[in-house]
Amino acid sequence: MILLLLIGSATIFYLISSKPENQMISQGEEKLATSVTGTEQNRDLSEAQHEQLKETLNLSLRAISAMINKDYEYLEEIIAPTVKLNKENNTISFGDSNEIPIRDSFDYNNFEFRAYMVQEDTVLIILGVNNVSYEFSFVEHKGKSGNYLLKSIYTN
pLDDT in tens, 5-24: 444 434 343 433 334 444 44
Q: Is the pLDDT of residue 154 over 50?
A: yes
Can you give the residue range of the structural domain that contains 56? 2-155
* pLDDT: which is higher, 15 or 156: 156
CA angle 142, 156, 133 (to 5 degrees): 70
Q: Can you give the pLDDT at residue 13?
A: 39
Q: Can you give the pLDDT at residue 144?
A: 63
Q: How confident is the model at residue 41 (pLDDT cuts 50, 70, 90)?
A: very low
**For the segment 44-87, what is each residue's pLDDT rounded down to a tens digit?**
678 888 888 899 999 999 999 999 999 999 999 999 999 999 99
**For the segment 108-150, what is each residue's pLDDT rounded down to a tens digit?**
778 899 999 998 889 999 999 888 899 999 998 876 656 899 9
Domain count, the chain: 1
Q: What's the gap between Cα 109 and its chain centre?
A: 18
CATH number, domain containing residue 115: 3.10.450
Q: How confident is the model at residue 43 (pLDDT cuts 50, 70, 90)?
A: low
Give the global pTM: 0.70
Q: Convert the chain into a string of H (helix), E (strand) and C (coil).
A: CEEEEEECCEEEEEECCCCHHHCCCCCCHHHHCCCCCCCHHHHCCCHHHHHHHHHHHHHHHHHHHHHHCCCHHHHHHHECCCEEEECCCCEEEECCCEEEECCCCCCCCCEEEEEEEEECCEEEEEEEECCEEEEEEEEECCCCCCCEEEEEEEEC
Closest to 133 measured CA to CA, from 60, 65, 37: 60
Q: Can you give the pLDDT at residue 142?
A: 78
